[in-house]
Amino acid sequence: MTASPAQDMAGLEMAARPRINVMKPWLGAEEAEAVAAVIASGWVAQGPKVAQFEAEFAAAQNAGFAVATSNCTTALHLALVVAGIKAGDDVVVPSFSFIATANAPTYVGARPVFADVELQTGNVTAGTIAAALTPRTRAVIVVDQGGMPVDLAPIRELCDPLGIAVIEDAACGAGSTYRSLPVGAGAEITAWSFHPRKILTTGEGGMLTTSRGDWAQRAAKLREHAMSASAASRHSAVLAPPEEYTEIGYNFRMTDMQAAVGIVQLGRLAEAVAQRRRIVARYAAALDGTPGLRLSHDPVYGTSNFQSFWLEVLPEFGTTREGLLEHLAARGISARRGIMASHRQPAYTGWDTGVADLSVTDRLTDNTLILPVFHQLTGSEQERVIGAVMTAGKN
């Protein structure tokens, strides 16, 4: 690539401008005050704030029951345990996802079997799952990728008669809707993430929601060493009853400090999603129709929270995905490659992960890019991003 001196100068001038991140958590004084109050109370581990966060989160997501966990990966692990998945079972998962989706089945000795995704949403469908089913498939993990709701009803129609549990990985999905309800409400069991890369954050943290009381009860027990009486109930009693360990459990607890942040964040969720959708609408107005760019959009059956707003760089665009990333980086704009493909990671080379065609996954992983979207992104910063995308295509 050759650039004229004038272009070089323009590039340098723009690089001197403040950096624009791809994502920033939206946290404020209220979260700090909530944590300070927990510290002042003297009860910092899992206790009353976790219980309150669980109740408020379950109500917000139309879920029967909610069990807070240390992160979404541990919530997925627990989901598989309570669904009865074990060594020798196959679990169909999208390769096109953060690697935790594929790793979770391995924690219970099961095998992840990769399914492809559809081009429009980046999500698995009943068709891509059907193509990956094996005689040993006992569960599928569907993902609301980047907040884009998965089309769950046809997947349940496929899996329910076969006795295959449908677990929803809604790590990125808080605030997205499916058929006018919060995502996750239609699955028997759903896992959520509160990592800062997601919209609702507790630093680290996760949640398992389920429509089944028996699963919720077992998950709540397993997350704290499978103790017969919770630590909270024992510590609040003056004379604690003796406890019993009914099976081998885990320590997957959330702290009350995190839950206090989560309660404040949950109160901000609707506003956070509305602001992200306004930002994405401005990107769409400016960039839709640009030759060689394909933008992600809401599907007909739901709305995305746009935890990640991605676009695909097609051959007609003036440069490749890598070229566009470099062009943006030279102007202080931190975009990101799209979602990874787990089947291409060294962790899974050498594993037998099924025979399904993964060509859409490969195409999306190689050609998509995530643009900056965060609550505090200003109009002029967004103009800088849009301008930089447009000039990249004209090289």
Establish if 176 lies at the interface with ligand PLP (CB under 6 A). Answer: no
Task: Locate all alpha helices (DSSP H) within the chain, ordered by sequence.
Answer: 5-15, 29-41, 48-60, 72-82, 100-107, 126-130, 152-159, 213-222, 231-236, 256-287, 321-329, 359-367, 379-392
Interface with ligand PLP (CB under 6 A), residue from 26, 98, 178, 215: 98
Distance CA 362, CA 354 (A): 16
- 328-359 residues labelled b (16+ CB within 10 A) or e (exposed): bebbbbebbebbebbbeeeebeeeebbebebe
Query: Total binding residues for ligand PLP by CB under 6 A?
Result: 14
Establish if 58 lies at the interface with ligand PLP (CB under 6 A). Answer: no
CB under 6 A: which stretch of 25-33, 44-52, 71-79, 310-318 binds ligand PLP? Answer: 71-79
Establish if 97 lies at the interface with ligand PLP (CB under 6 A). Answer: yes
Establish if 143 lies at the interface with ligand PLP (CB under 6 A). Answer: yes
Establish if 216 lies at the interface with ligand PLP (CB under 6 A). Answer: no
Closer to ligand PLP at the Cβ: 147 or 393?
147
Establish if 169 lies at the interface with ligand PLP (CB under 6 A). Answer: yes
Establish if 365 lies at the interface with ligand PLP (CB under 6 A). Answer: no
Establish if 123 lies at the interface with ligand PLP (CB under 6 A). Answer: no
| Spatial CB neighbours of 235, under 8 Å, sequence gap ≥ 6 | 47
Establish if 253 lies at the interface with ligand PLP (CB under 6 A). Answer: no
CB under 6 A: which stretch of 169-177, 241-249, 280-288, 294-302 binds ligand PLP? Answer: 169-177
Bridge partners (DSSP) listed for residue 224: 251
Distance CA 265, CA 271 (A): 10
Interface with ligand PLP (CB under 6 A), residue from 172, 187, 272, 364: 172
Closer to ligand PLP at the Cβ: 194 or 317?
194
Establish if 114 lies at the interface with ligand PLP (CB under 6 A). Answer: no
Distance CA 101, CA 91 (A): 10
Q: Least distance (Å) from ligand PLP to the CB of residue 99?
A: 8
Q: Least distance (Å) from ligand PLP to the CB of residue 231?
A: 22
Evaluate whether 86 touches 98 at the Cβ level (below 8 Å). no
Handedness of CA 369, 373, 374, 380 (dihedral sign): positive
CA dihedral 324, 325, 327, 328 (to 10 degrees): 120
CB under 6 A: which stretch of 2-10, 32-40, 68-76, 154-162 binds ligand PLP? Answer: 68-76
Establish if 72 lies at the interface with ligand PLP (CB under 6 A). Answer: yes
Establish if 101 lies at the interface with ligand PLP (CB under 6 A). Answer: yes
| Beta strands at 137-143 and 165-169: parallel, antiparallel or unpaired | parallel
Closer to ligand PLP at the Cβ: 193 or 382?
193
User: Any catalytic annotation for residue 198?
Assistant: yes
Establish if 71 lies at the interface with ligand PLP (CB under 6 A). Answer: yes
CB under 6 A: which stretch of 52-60, 96-104, 325-333, 349-357 binds ligand PLP? Answer: 96-104
Dmax (CA) for the chain in angstroms is 79
Which of these is catalytic: 24, 49, 198, 394?
A: 198
Distance CA 359, CA 238 (A): 61
Evaluate whether 375 touches 347 at the Cβ level (below 8 Å). no
Q: Which residues are catalytic?
A: 198
Residues in contact with ligand PLP by the rule CB under 6 A: 71-73, 97-98, 100-101, 143, 169, 171-172, 193, 195, 206
